[in-house]
């Protein structure tokens, strides 16, 4: 992390009515956002020899495998990055942080939004370290809801424009070197990505996906990306053209676009092809618990295993030292009976449980059980998604696995819907081919 003093900027004023004896009066308290200028942060970061070395010497693979953003087609065809691999790749991330007890009465009252960035020029093992993640801005989530996320990102985008057009000067071996750059990708959970991209939440629009024009009905029956019309920069601008007229509400609900995101002010980046999927939320907190919960309910109803027997396995299984840190918690009967799709496990616990479940109860299940086979197919999908590198053949196989998994799931669990997170998986093969990057 850098140690620059954050700058404080007034977003607006909060008006409140107070009373003094019998005379009421108004107070106007300022609402602040705290941010660290991107250009200053980059200059401090690039003074570190190991960071500068990573920027100057690309880590692009030469074996035709896909392991990072610089191995994908987007990087190779990028109008800036393809000219010089030293150009700075700014990866933006946004998430909310609840600092109070999520079960208490103050929940959401003091919730804050935090914006970070990291440099894609760094090798993945360096970029994942905490010291490589740089703070950009902190603001209360209520202020984002009131003033909009574009107001928060305005200084950041001004710095991006400068970085794209003029660059920043750094010293290297006693000489001044000018480095340019731009946003390479933006990540966050689905709500954050829709907010940053100017899209309505999946539950609030006819078109549920920020990657394509799928409707909720179409997503239930089509499990190949080629079945859908993908969003493009041109169609995004076309949909935004309706937002200033009388058809604003109708257009936003129909097309799922609320506004033209300030991120599109970049000369190179656009939200249509830059909001990378987040497999932690989509898989470990979405698809995996959904699939496992339906499977466990089926196994219990068929008297193949009881919940108490499963919980006994969770408690007594000989976990490795690494898995023991993410040991799944016992599953209450109320969790299985609830109408949601949650298993009440953290993402790391869910990953551990998914991988080890066949070792725990696999000997109890008939080998030809089609629901169990489909669960094993999901594990194969997860193996590919979490792999450090993939080939083009792996990506083609991944698309087939996802289609087969979703088709089988719809057939064997007819009362279950294909949720937006399940639909997003159809776009994963293309994203990996283009950017070799899924956020985790």
Secondary structure (DSSP) of 163-208: HHHT-EEEEETTEEEEE-EEEEEEE--HHHHHHHHTBPPGGGSSB-
Question: Residue 110 CB: number of other CB atoms within 10 A?
Answer: 13
* Residues constituting the chain: 440
Measure Cα distances from 329 to 320, 325, 351, 372 in Å. Answer: 16, 11, 13, 22
Q: Clarify whether residues 296 and 230 are in a common domain.
A: no
Q: Clarify whether residues 300 and 424 are in a common domain.
A: yes
Residues whose CB is less than 8 angstroms from the CB of residue 228 and which lie 6 or more positions away in sequence, other chains included: 209, 212, 213, 214, 218, 222, 426
Could you give the CA distance from residue 134 to residue 305 in angstroms, rounded to a whole number?
A: 48
Burial of 429 (0-12, 13-18, 19+ CB in 10 A): buried
Q: Is residue 344 part of a domain?
A: yes
Q: Is residue 25 part of a domain?
A: no
Q: Is residue 139 part of a domain?
A: yes
Q: Is residue 76 part of a domain?
A: yes
Angle between the N-to-C axes of helices 149-165 and 38-45, in degrees from 0 to 180, rounded to the nearest 10: 50
Burial of 369 (0-12, 13-18, 19+ CB in 10 A): middle
Asked whether the beta carbons of 100 and 110 are under 8 A apart, the reply is yes
Question: Residue 244 CB: number of other CB atoms within 10 A?
Answer: 10
The DSSP 8-state label assigned to residue 4 in this structure reads P
Query: How does strand 112-119 pair with strand 175-179?
Result: unpaired
Could you give the CA distance from residue 363 to residue 354 in angstroms, rounded to a whole number?
A: 16
The rounded average pLDDT for each run of 10 residues, N- to C-terminus, in the chain (440 residues) is 72 67 67 92 92 89 91 93 91 88 66 93 89 92 92 95 94 86 94 94 85 94 95 95 86 91 96 93 94 96 95 96 94 92 93 96 94 97 94 96 97 94 96 78
Among the listed residues 277, 244, 263, the one whose alpha carbon sits nearest the alpha carbon of residue 196: 263
Q: Clarify whether residues 174 and 49 are in a common domain.
A: yes
C-alpha R_g of the chain: 24
Q: Clarify whether residues 407 and 285 are in a common domain.
A: yes
Q: Clarify whether residues 168 and 284 are in a common domain.
A: no
Residues whose CB is less than 8 angstroms from the CB of residue 336 and which lie 6 or more positions away in sequence, other chains included: 293, 296, 297, 300, 307
Could you give the CA distance from residue 416 to residue 374 in angstroms, rounded to a whole number?
A: 15
Q: Is residue 6 part of a domain?
A: no
Question: Residue 97 CB: number of other CB atoms within 10 A?
Answer: 11
Q: How much is the pLDDT for 100?
A: 72
Could you give the CA distance from residue 153 to residue 266 in angstroms, rounded to a whole number?
A: 12
> How many distinct structural domains can be found in the chain?
3
Q: How much is the pLDDT for 44?
A: 92
Q: Clarify whether residues 89 and 119 are in a common domain.
A: yes
Q: How much is the pLDDT for 329?
A: 95
Which phi and psi angles does 437 have, rounded to 5°? -150, 120
Q: Clarify whether residues 368 and 231 are in a common domain.
A: no
Count the alpha carbons within 13 Å of 255 in the hemisphere toward its beta carbon. Answer: 23
Q: Is residue 15 part of a domain?
A: no
Q: Clarify whether residues 284 and 240 are in a common domain.
A: no
Q: Is residue 10 part of a domain?
A: no
Q: Clarify whether residues 53 and 120 are in a common domain.
A: yes
Q: Clarify whether residues 288 and 429 are in a common domain.
A: yes
Measure Cα distances from 425 to 139, 211, 225, 250 in Å. Answer: 32, 11, 9, 28
Q: Clarify whether residues 48 and 173 are in a common domain.
A: yes
Q: Clarify whether residues 404 and 309 are in a common domain.
A: yes
Structural domain that includes position 394 = 280-435
Question: Residue 123 CB: number of other CB atoms within 10 A?
Answer: 15
* Bridge partners for 207 per DSSP: 215
Measure Cα distances from 59 to 54, 100, 120 in Å. Answer: 8, 41, 10
The end-to-end CA distance of the chain, in Å, is 20
């Amino acid at each position: 992390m850098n140690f620059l003093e954050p700058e404080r900027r007034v977003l607006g004023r909060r008006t409140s009515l107070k009373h003094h004896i019998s005379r009421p009066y108004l107070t106007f308290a300022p609402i602040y956002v705290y941010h660290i200028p991107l250009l200053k942060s980059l200059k401090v970061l690039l003074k570190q020899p190991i960071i500068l070395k990573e920027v100057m010497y690309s880590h692009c693979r030469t074996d035709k495998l896909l392991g990072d953003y610089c191995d994908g087609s987007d990087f190779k065809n990028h109008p800036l990055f393809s000219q010089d691999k030293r150009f700075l790749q700014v990866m933006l991330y946004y998430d909310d942080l609840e600092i109070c007890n999520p079960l208490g009465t103050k929940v959401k009252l003091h919730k804050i939004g935090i914006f970070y960035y990291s440099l894609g020029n760094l090798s993945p093992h360096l970029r994942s370290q905490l010291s490589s993640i740089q703070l950009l801005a902190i603001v209360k989530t209520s202020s984002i809801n009131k003033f909009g996320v574009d107001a928060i990102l305005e200084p950041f985008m001004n710095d991006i424009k400068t970085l794209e057009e003029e660059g920043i000067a750094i010293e290297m071996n006693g000489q001044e070197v000018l480095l340019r750059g731009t946003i390479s990708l933006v990540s966050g959970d689905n709500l954050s990505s829709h907010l940053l991209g100017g899209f309505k939440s999946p539950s609030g629009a006819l078109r549920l996906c920020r990657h394509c024009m799928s409707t909720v009905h179409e997503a239930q029956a089509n499990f190949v990306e080629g079945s859908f019309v993908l969003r493009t920069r041109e169609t995004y601008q076309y949909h935004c053209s309706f937002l200033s007229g009388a058809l604003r509400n109708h257009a936003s609900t129909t097309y799922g676009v609320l506004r033209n995101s300030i991120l599109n002010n970049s000369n190179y980046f656009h939200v249509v092809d830059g909001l990378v999927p987040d497999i932690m939320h989509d898989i470990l907190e979405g698809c995996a618990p959904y699939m496992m919960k339906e499977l466990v309910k089926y196994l219990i109803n068929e008297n193949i295993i009881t919940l108490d027997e499963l919980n006994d396995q969770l408690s007594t299984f000989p976990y490795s030292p690494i898995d023991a840190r993410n040991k799944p918690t016992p599953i209450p009967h109320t969790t299985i009976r609830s109408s949601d799709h949650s298993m009440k496990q953290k993402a790391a616990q869910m990953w551990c449980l998914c991988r080890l479940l066949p070792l725990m109860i696999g000997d109890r299940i008939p080998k030809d059980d089609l629901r169990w086979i489909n669960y094993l197919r999901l594990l194969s999908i997860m193996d590919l998604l979490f792999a450090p590198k993939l080939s083009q053949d792996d990506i083609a196989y991944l698309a087939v696995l996802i289609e087969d998994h979703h088709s089988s799931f719809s057939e064997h669990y007819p009362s279950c819907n294909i949720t937006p997170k399940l639909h997003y998986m159809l776009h994963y093969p293309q994203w990996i081919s283009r950017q070799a990057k899924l956020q985790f």
